[in-house]
Chains A and B, each alone.
Chain A
Amino acid sequence: MDDLLGDFIAETRETLEALAGEIVAWEAAPDDRSRLDAIFRFVHTVKGSCGFLDLPRLEKLSHAAEDVLADVRADRRKPDSKLVSAVLAMIDRIAEVTDAIETGHALSDADDHLLIAALQPGVAHPEPDAAPQADMSAAAASGTPRTVSRTIRLPVDLLDRMMAGVSDMVLARNELARRLRDGGAESTTEVAFERLSSCIAEMRDAITRTRMARVENLFTALPRMVRDVSAELSKQVQLEIDGGDVELDREMIEMIRDPLTHIVRNAIDHGIEPPEQRVLAGKPMAGRLHVSARQVGNQILIEVIDDGRGIDADRLVQKAIANGVMSQERAATLTWDRKLELIFEPGLSTAQAVTAISGRGVGMDVVRANVERIGGLVDIDSKPGQGLRLTMRVPLTLTIIPALTISSGGQHFAIPRSAIDEIVRTGGDAVQMGKLGGADIVFIRGTRLPVVSLSKVIGVAGQGEPANLVVLKLSGGARYALAVEAVHDHEELVVKPAAPIVMACGIYGGTTLPDNSRPMLLLDVSGIAEKAGVRRDVKAPEAVVEDVEETQQEDGAVPVLLFRDLDGIERGVPLALVERIEDCFTASVSTTAGRMRLNIDGRLVPLVSCGAPIEDIKLRVLRMHDGNEELAYAIDSVIDIVPVTIELQRSAVPGPVAGVMLVEERPIEFIDAFWLFAQGLGAEPKRTGGPVCLLADDDPWTRQVLAPLVESAGYQVVYDDDERAITADLVIVPDGAAVEPVSLGVVVRLRPTAEERGASPDSLWRYDREGLTAELRRHWYGGRA
């Protein structure tokens, strides 16, 4: 808030200085329209700013003056000398109050009402009274030393010119450095040059900082907005703001203002539930909205986290199908993350009703486009029912960025380093090129990525095979590999926007001058993906499976992923079954109901392992998918992907290993995928079908302790109020209770004590697990028959 106030004070004082002449001129010629307008504008601006900054006193003063001046402008009043003095007294008072705000000195507001009254027509007497008072306070004000402001206001284009000048200086220095190197300069010259170099570097830092502003500038408007929006929607929101002191390029702040506003509005409108729903969901009544900024390397992360209902990815998918964005078949193959990504598709919004706040279907697609335009990324992470996290990653500054220089077809280009995931050389063991329906793909450590040849995209003849793959990441984690001929250097580059006709190509982000002073183009990573037709979402797994089957028919070999299992044995699995390889924390593994589960993005996925204990903090898993169900298989490390014609020595007993065969002279055990899925999923209790068991008692013990046991034996559990109660195949009652007639007449009585004393002869102790299970199983067959 201080920044804004400082700006206001500086601006007001500046205008006051400029206005001094106008005021005198107006006094001399009260009919002069243009002077009047200038004064009116000033008072009006002050009033507007005061309302925003919550300065009620100044607002009252300026408002009174504005009213009078408006009357004069509308010819409702004639400007006589009395009115002019009254307005001037008011403007003096505004100046005094402004000074007082800056210095923090209190200024009595006792005579404010007199000044205001003096403005009224026909009020004659307060005027001579007010004037000396005003004079006195003016004298008092001038008595206190005015603090000299240590800040100045500069037009941004002047800063831009300074920045451009320094950038040019850096380039000139680089040029000079090269000539000195080539010419073999004397050591004294070199020392002088070194000094010049360090001066320039320091100056560049300082000037870069002048363009920086605190992210706070972006955050100050949030509390008010959150208040207004939540009030309008009758929701309670508790806003937490973090990291306002992070600095960011001024221009960048302006560029992310709109996206951030949009995300915050969305979070309140769609994310945070109305208070009553929150209470029902067991959450605190007031929703929590956390907005934070932090610097990570040369990027700024701005996170908006809410604890609302999150995004229902499945509803997004339904909507996408309804709107014809994708087909049902394709939708079925999407992973959770991919489904979430749909939020960025144009015209999709999960809001059921359009509100004034958001939900018009323009939104997240625009947000992402805006953030990507400045070289940023937007990531989304949703836990249904628990909340949503949106992360904007933006570069620190637009002007100097670290970049990688590469070349294709004899031409050099720069790629922003922030977009680069890794660089790999083709031909290594871990990198395998392949074809998929005419398109190039690559397997890098088991992950399938589309390959884009830079020379093809830019339409130049390649000079030899592209030997390097630069893996680039797009928003939302989608990646692709850009094939280039050579990778040269990491450089800090001064990037400037290119001419509109060059930008219109859609694949460039700007121009830059490296040391050799030959212009180089900066590639726009997402533009290239678009031009090359790389889709943001990965190809449907089915397509790969089919493709694998085709190749299998051709030469009988399928790609097999070889890995080292937790017990150290090398095993293999057909790659088609593996959706992806993931690292996760061992902490997210839970053992429930006798089997391990892995928490992946808020869902529990069955985790299967060979049996060896998981000891490290981190765990690597193979995510497998059989078309319907998925599971994770814990491994130690990935060895390689090799094409194998599978001819197994089948193992004799069913188990995790289907058989063994020699791959590259080594015996490799093959995972039995059938067994895996059966292990991971097979014993999941199915609650539909099966005989019905009526639990006559409806106390917590029955519901919490007994019911799960009965369910796990394959029964559907019903209680008295259920309509199926009369047709139940089995009834479990506490011993001694009256039994209603049941179709099959099978009644199991449970007694609370272990001893049979005093109980019905056929009753069972309620903790007699074996007896109870045997009884349940016996009648299960009866129920089926």
Chain B
Amino acid sequence: MQDLFLIVEIGGQRAVLPAAFVESVVEIEDIAPVPCAPSHVFGLFALRSRVLTVIDTIAALGGERSSPGEKQAVIVTVDGHLYGMLVDNVDDVVAIDGAPTEPRALLSDGWARYSTGVLEHDGEPMLLIDVPAMIAGPLDLAA
């Protein structure tokens, strides 16, 4: 089994996203906030006349809310809705063989919730991000 993955860096941690979700990577700024929304919802952004919901990945992982300003975001489609997931850096699209394995290490709460396993590329282990879970955010915990 060989699938394509996008390597990104979130909060200093390198991780991979299944490329099937990813539509594009864009620079975004001037994001309209959404009051009352959960803290990991950074706001709304218009991309080519479509409104996308920007997800603050750092906040989702339990960190501080990101500061306003220009950001890099990976655009993903989940259930027909567009989301922009903020990332520090986008590295490369790579093909990785094999199924994800258990991390066998005690992950921080955030990563434990939003990763579905570990994939190795060039000898480097990277967490596989569960995109729908990260978008839903910590809300699930309360439910």
Contacts and interface: CB of A to CB of B under 8 A. Distances in A.
Do they bind each other? yes
Interface in B95-143: 135-137, 139
Given A458-B35, A501-B137, A507-B36, A168 B49 contact: yes
A171 B135 contact: no
Contacts of B79: 500
Contacts of B36: 457-459, 505-507, 531
Interface in B27-52: 30, 32-38, 41, 44-46, 48-51
A171 B49 contact: yes
A504 B41 CA distance: 12
B53 interface: yes
Interface string A505-524: 11110011100011111000
B34 A502 contact: yes
Given A459-B36, A511-B51, A521 B44 contact: yes
A548 to B, nearest CB: 35
A411 B139 contact: no
A501 B32 contact: no
Given A458-B36, A459-B35, A499-B83, A519 B41 contact: no
Contacts of B32: 411, 518-521
B46 A501 contact: no
Contacts of B81: 499-500
Interface string B43-67: 0111011110100000000000000
B35 A513 contact: no
Contact of A460 (B35, B41, B137): B35
Contacts of B30: 518
Given A499-B83, A511-B51, A513-B46, A505 B34 contact: yes
Given A411-B33, A500-B79, A501-B137, A519 B51 contact: yes
A502 B37 contact: yes
Q: Which interface class (under 10, 10 to 19, 20 to 34, 35 or more) fits B?
A: 20 to 34
Interface string A309-331: 00000000000000000000000
B59 to A, nearest CB: 13
A519 B45 contact: yes
Interface in B9-43: 30, 32-38, 41
Contacts of A519: 32, 44-46, 51
B139 A504 contact: yes
Contacts, number: 69
Interface in B69-95: 79, 81-83
Given A511-B44, A513-B46, A502 B53 contact: yes
Nearest to A168: B49
A504 B143 CA distance: 12
A139 B81 CA distance: 54
B51 A501 contact: no
Contacts of B139: 501, 504
A99 B81 CA distance: 44
A498 interface: yes
B78 to A, nearest CB: 9
Contact of A501 (B35, B41, B45, B82): B41
A623 interface: no
Nearest to B137: A501
A566 to B, nearest CB: 50
A172 interface: yes
Contacts of B41: 501-502
B49 A501 contact: no
A63 interface: no
B137 to A, nearest CB: 7
A262 interface: no
Interface of B: 30, 32-38, 41, 44-46, 48-51, 53, 79, 81-83, 135-137, 139
25 contacts: A167-B49, A168-B49, A168-B50, A458-B36, A459-B36, A498-B44, A498-B51, A498-B53, A499-B53, A499-B81, A499-B82, A499-B83, A501-B37, A501-B38, A501-B41, A501-B139, A502-B37, A502-B41, A504-B139, A505-B36, A506-B36, A507-B36, A518-B30, A520-B32, A521-B32
Given A501-B136, A506-B36, A519-B46, 14 more contacts: A167-B49, A168-B50, A459-B35, A498-B51, A498-B53, A499-B83, A499-B135, A500-B81, A501-B41, A502-B53, A505-B37, A511-B44, A517-B46, A517-B49
Interface of A: 167-168, 171-172, 409, 411, 457-460, 496, 498-502, 504-508, 511-513, 517-521, 531
- Would you list the 10 A-B pairs with minimal beta carbon distance, nearest first? A458-B35, A519-B44, A499-B53, A168-B49, A505-B36, A499-B81, A511-B51, A519-B51, A171-B49, A519-B32
